[in-house]
Chains A and B, each alone.
Chain A
Amino acid sequence: MDEHLASRVRDALAEDSRLNVLDIEVRIVGNALHLHGAVASRELIEAAECVARELAPAHTIVTRLTVVRCERAPDHERIR
């Protein structure tokens, strides 16, 4: 079942000590396993691909992960 495999990969992305990322979205479309989301570093993207490949060796891993940017200037808001 694709849905069960996607859930297992998502659990592994949260629990594997190489990642500990809780909010990567995993979808399986045909023979491709897609990873979507934003993580804190390039190393985490590589680790996510590695974990997905280990759990779904028969699938093509398609990575749509990005690194969280901190590119905006601080916003100042008046509360009261």
Chain B
Amino acid sequence: MIRIAAIGDVHAGAQPSKEWVDGCARLAAEADLLLYAGDLTQHGALNEAEALVAPLKDAGIPVVAVLGNHDYNLGQEHSIRRMMERSGICVVEGSATTVEVAGARVGVAGAKGFAGGFSGASASAFGEEAMKAFVKVTRDAANALGEALAQLSCDVRVALTHYSPARDTLYGEKPEVYPFLGSYLLGAAIDGCAVDLAVHGHAHHGTERGITAGGTPVRNVAMPVLRAPFNVYEFGD
């Protein structure tokens, strides 16, 4: 059996909560791989990311991560990424990695993603240059995610983003903010690549379980949604 743990949006300040750190000690007993869905930090500072990474370094299982919007706030995202990689965490941003788990290959492709909205209420690249630039960020992220997914050769294919690829897992949020929480373009990229599971964070008031328009299972693993140190998604016997 393949056991994939996932969590995001811990938003560590100077120190992550003791409840979460204590929970991380159970990772190796309950899972073979951890996916972190972005927003390690509250303010975007390197020292916050270091505080969050410390218990993950000791978890004893591989960790694959994307960054979130909070991690970009102070312009320290490159330093945060380098620190994570020095700590043994694989950061995927328009890229993919394959991890051997229980004799099977788990492929994880990731991108932070961006906003833009969902069918019937999404932004278009029309009018002002600012609007076109906004939509281009999302399209570029979705294209990069799709290309990374397509290059994977594996037994279980997972898409990891911070922003949501589906509307379902936003249920609980105010509808007015849906366009700021994700984009159908991420979902379209995922649905084009036979993905077994899509994992995201960002939507603190959303719902854990949903599907994309194409039927791919989606899980919102933001810690305020799970209220657990992580949840585990299982494949195979």
Q: Give A contacts to B, CB under 8 Å.
A: 17, 20-21, 23, 38, 40-41, 43-44, 68-80
Residues of A within 8 A of B205 (CB): 23
Whether A20 contacts B42 by the Cβ 8 Å rule is yes
Shortest CB–CB separation between residue A45 and chain B, in angstroms?
Answer: 12
Residues of A within 8 A of B19 (CB): 69-71
Residues of A within 8 A of B197 (CB): 79
Q: Please report the C-alpha to C-alpha distance between residue A73 and residue B17 in the assembled complex, in whole angstroms.
A: 15
Whether A20 contacts B30 by the Cβ 8 Å rule is no
Range, interface on chain B: 35 or more
Residues of A within 8 A of B3 (CB): 76
> Contacts A20-B73, A69-B19, A70-B228; is A79 near B217 (CB within 8 Å)?
yes
Residues of A within 8 A of B171 (CB): none
Give 15 A-B contacts (CB < 8 Å), ordered by A residue: A17-B43, A38-B224, A40-B12, A41-B13, A44-B13, A44-B42, A68-B223, A68-B227, A70-B223, A72-B226, A74-B231, A76-B231, A77-B233, A79-B196, A79-B233
Q: Please report the C-alpha to C-alpha distance between residue A41 and residue B224 in the assembled complex, in whole angstroms.
A: 12
Q: Mark B55-80, 1 if CB is under 8 A from A, else 0.
A: 00000000000000010010000000
Q: Please report the C-alpha to C-alpha distance between residue A38 and residue B11 in the assembled complex, in whole angstroms.
A: 12
Q: Which residues from 221 to 237 on chain B have a C-beta closer than 8 Å to any C-beta of chain A?
A: 223-224, 226-236
Whether A75 contacts B228 by the Cβ 8 Å rule is yes
Q: Mark B1-17, 1 if CB is under 8 A from A, else 0.
A: 00101000011110001
Whether B42 contacts A74 by the Cβ 8 Å rule is no
Q: Please report the C-alpha to C-alpha distance between residue A17 and residue B70 in the assembled complex, in whole angstroms.
A: 11
Known: A40-B11, A40-B17. 15 other contacts (CB 8 A): A20-B70, A23-B205, A44-B13, A44-B42, A68-B11, A68-B204, A68-B227, A70-B23, A70-B227, A72-B228, A74-B23, A76-B234, A77-B232, A79-B197, A79-B234
Q: Please report the C-alpha to C-alpha distance between residue A78 and residue B13 in the assembled complex, in whole angstroms.
A: 33
Q: Please report the C-alpha to C-alpha distance between residue A74 and residue B236 in the assembled complex, in whole angstroms.
A: 19
